[in-house]
Structure 1
């Protein structure tokens, strides 16, 4: 286990965030020790806005045994989803294609039920192991209340590993499906962002609504609504968390949109 004082801007895809004590845990014993005081769990740092003052709680990051994976067995919550999507295709295993391009660790993808219009994380789950109140427990997906970009994990529960529901398919068929998903995501920006900022209202596209309201290019400091996709807020290089939050609020003054990101603290 490694404990260090860090700036969370170096661990988030938005590139903002203040100081915290980072606990990188590698074994079940490490995890039990790390959770003896108030904590938060950090995955790949996407879908997250950390404020400039940082956080007081310990920040736990899963590594070691929690990052090991076997697509036909257990997959650690610290494994990177993009790697799993590509390896599943290589092995002729279907079920993850709709998650192509999501820059998350498995645990974070489960917690928020990450997905696209082509599929969600919950669709690919057979079982989920969660560390809660000092014990590791196995849950079936239907026990975890998955919905659009949400789940109902036990309070304080940490996803530690999952079993995936994958089916053997011809590799060419899987690759065609991935190409379809990739083509639909081509308009997403390459600059620093945390992924889609707002949840899509029922039957509508948040990005299209933002575009129609003429908000693309709206800027606060170095935080800007992407010119490529209205539902992305990008960091042009020197944005502060306060700039990004001010931009979020400016959009919400124009449109009744619910933020998709988690905000710390």
Structure 2
């Protein structure tokens, strides 16, 4: 094991790493990264100020890095149990526990193979399950809470399990507090066929063809009042605007892309420019760290 890697008292892997390697934008300074594989390791990791990092989408991390430790989920939190649970019926499928550290794209491929419908609207979201649930990720075709049966959430005070009905979730919001970690979920899906699920996924994916393929955190702003944020930014004449190594995508104005060598400060400058030039208040979809 590298000298730069150490093990905590409970066996969690601890190392100091550049966070840019974990984000879809490809920016971010260094932090102490804890990779945890079970609840004992997670409990120890949460004993000091922390942030949880999943797939790294919808996230802009400061160039100077973070003072808090960063927790990443592995081990039992990256396991997938897609056996039918006793609560399942002839029409509805209830899964076992799916870890918060499971990559969402891979999970969707498994659901397609099994002919299980309900999460097709999240196709193309480059997130892990826990992060996707935390922000209720999705598209106009559907969102994460469409397919949830139960959640397991960890905090420094302990672990709890709850039903989605216990949360006042909504558009791009689960109502789960910031320091709460979605460790596992159980899915509630409709039995279908691989062909039908594939067709729904393809339909949702086709609608995203105009989105940029470069390094990006995803959509920068939530759509205000049903109006597309991208159209508002485009109407303000900002599509293609570049600051440093970051640019408002010429393909879709609600995306900021990394042209190569972008800094978080470049992205912040573009976000501020958009807010100054667009005539209505815009709410960020991005998480800004710190």
Equivalent residue for 2:285, pick from 254, 260, 265: 260
Task: Please give the per-residue CA displacement for 1:167-188, whole angstroms capped at 9, x wherever unaligned.
Answer: 1102221111111101100011
The gaps in structure 2 that reach 5 residues or longer are: 1-11, 83-94
Pick the structure with greater CA Rg: 2
Task: Please give the per-residue CA displacement for 1:83-134, whole angstroms capped at 9, x wherever unaligned.
Answer: 1111101001101110100000001001111010000111111100001234
- The residue number in structure 2 matching 1:66 is 77
Equivalent residue for 2:113, pick from 76, 90, 107: 90
- The residue number in structure 2 matching 1:217 is 240
Conserved? CA contact 1:39–1:58, under 8 Å: yes
- Secondary structure (helix, strand or coil) at the match of 2:254 reads coil
Equivalent residue for 1:29, pick from 18, 40, 49: 40
Task: Please give the per-residue CA displacement for 1:23-55, whole angstroms capped at 9, x wherever unaligned.
Answer: 000111110111111100000111100011111
Task: Please give the per-residue CA displacement for 1:122-159, whole angstroms capped at 9, x wherever unaligned.
Answer: 11111000012342211111222211111222462111
Matched, 1:109 2:132: yes
Q: Which runs of 4+ in 1 moved over 2 A?
A: none
- Secondary structure (helix, strand or coil) at the match of 1:52 reads coil
Equivalent runs, 1:1-265 vs 2, <5 Å: 1-71=12-82, 72-154=95-177, 156-255=179-278, 256-265=281-290
RMSD: 1.0
Counterparts of 2:159 and 2:50, CA distance in 1:
17
Counterparts of 1:200 and 1:70, CA distance in 2:
35
